[in-house]
């Protein structure tokens, strides 16, 4: 174990409150068909590559839209709202504290480059502390979460052994991906998933404000 264990963070629903935007926009589209997104279905979709997530949605709910058409309709609605997203409790303070302590930091997010820019526009001062970023449209990431690809790639770019890394996630798919990568997983469940679906993670928190980095040797006790 290194003195400063690398930390890899998801973005949506963990650092930034974008999930409420996804839900709002998705339900606006689904309302035309008398459908609505429920937390269990949302949990299945989160972390997946965009097209796979859309396929799960339309097939599960029986919506008469091709996944590609749903995504085309959704995209401009999301992009209009993403710049408004707020940081989630404890996120900025934790990232700044870890960066100041010299902890290697990486982002591992399913967001593509265009979405990432819109979501982080108001938060660049602290999001830029993540020198390593692996996005959903990165050609090195062949499979979305719950496959471990994005976490393994982030560890590789950090020059880290996966088992040395701490991974922070909010979604069940993301937690499963990080576990499959062999990492220590800190889960912060949002309203989309009950705690009971995270039985094998190493720590469950209500928010990042509860995380104690000294427990993992990230900062001085």
Domains of the chain: 7-17+85-216 (3.40.50.1000), 19-83 (1.10.150.240)
198 compared with 212, residue with greater pLDDT: 212
> Where does the pLDDT of residue 50 fall: very low under 50, low under 70, confident under 90, or very high at 90 and above?
confident
What is the pLDDT at residue 2? 45
Give the span between the Cα atoms of 205 and 106, in whole angstroms.
20
Distance CA 137, CA 114 (A): 10
Name the percent of the chain lying above pLDDT 90: 82
Q: What is the mean pLDDT of residues 4-17?
A: 95
Find, among 87, 76, 145, 72, the residue nearest to 119 by Cα: 87
What's this model's pTM, rounded to 2 decimal places? 0.90
Q: Report the relative pairing of strands 184-187 and 166-169 from DSSP bridges.
A: parallel
Query: pLDDT-based confidence at 22, cuts 50/70/90?
Result: very high
CA-to-CA separations, 193 to 1, 13, 38, 161, in angstroms, rounded: 32, 11, 10, 29
Q: What are the pLDDT digits (tens) for 152-194?
A: 999 999 999 999 999 999 988 899 999 999 999 999 997 766 7
HEC assignment per residue over 120-177: HHHHHHHHCCCCEEECCCCCCCCCCCCCCHHHHHHHHHHCCCHHHCEEEECCHHHHHH
Lowest mean pLDDT among 30-34, 41-45, 53-57, 178-182: 41-45
pLDDT at 49 over 90: no
**What is the per-residue pLDDT across 64-102, written as a single tens digit (0 to 9) for each?**
999 999 999 999 999 999 999 999 999 999 999 999 999
Q: What are the tokens at 200?
A: 């094998």
Strand partners, 169: 187
pLDDT above 60: residue 147: yes
Q: Are 166 and 216 in contact (CB under 8 A)?
A: yes
Indicate which residues carry an active-site annotation.
10, 12
**Residue-level pLDDT at 42:** 87
* Average model confidence (pLDDT) across the chain: 93
Nearest to 150 by CA among 34, 26, 16, 12: 12
Q: Which helix (H) or strand (E) holds 107?
A: strand 105-108
User: Measuring CA to CA, which residue among 133, 82, 141 is closest to residue 104?
Assistant: 133
Instruction: Tell me if residue 203 falls in helix, strand or coil.
Output: strand
């Amino acid at each position: 174990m290194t003195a400063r264990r690398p930390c890899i963070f998801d973005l949506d629903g963990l650092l930034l409150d974008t999930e409420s935007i996804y839900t709002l926009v998705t339900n606006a589209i689904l309302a035309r068909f008398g459908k609505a997104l429920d937390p269990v279905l949302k949990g299945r979709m989160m972390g997946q590559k965009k097209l796979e997530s859309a396929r799960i949605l339309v097939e599960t709910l029986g919506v008469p839209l091709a996944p590609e058409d749903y995504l085309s309709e959704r995209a401009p609605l999301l992009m209009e709202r993403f710049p408004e997203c707020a940081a989630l409790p404890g996120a900025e303070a934790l990232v700044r504290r870890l960066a100041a302590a010299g902890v290697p930091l990486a982002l591992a997010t399913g967001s593509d480059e265009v979405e990432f820019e819109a979501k982080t526009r108001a938060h660049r001062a602290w999001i830029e502390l993540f020198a390593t970023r692996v996005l959903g449209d990165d050609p090195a990431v062949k499979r979305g979460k719950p496959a471990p690809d994005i976490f393994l790639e982030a560890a590789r770019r950090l020059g880290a052994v996966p088992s040395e890394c701490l991974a922070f996630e909010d979604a069940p798919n993301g937690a499963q991906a990080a576990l499959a990568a062999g990492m220590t997983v800190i889960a912060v469940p949002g309203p989309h998933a009950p705690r009971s679906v995270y039985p094998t993670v190493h720590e469950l928190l209500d928010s990042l404000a509860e995380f104690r980095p000294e427990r993992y040797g990230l900062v001085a006790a």
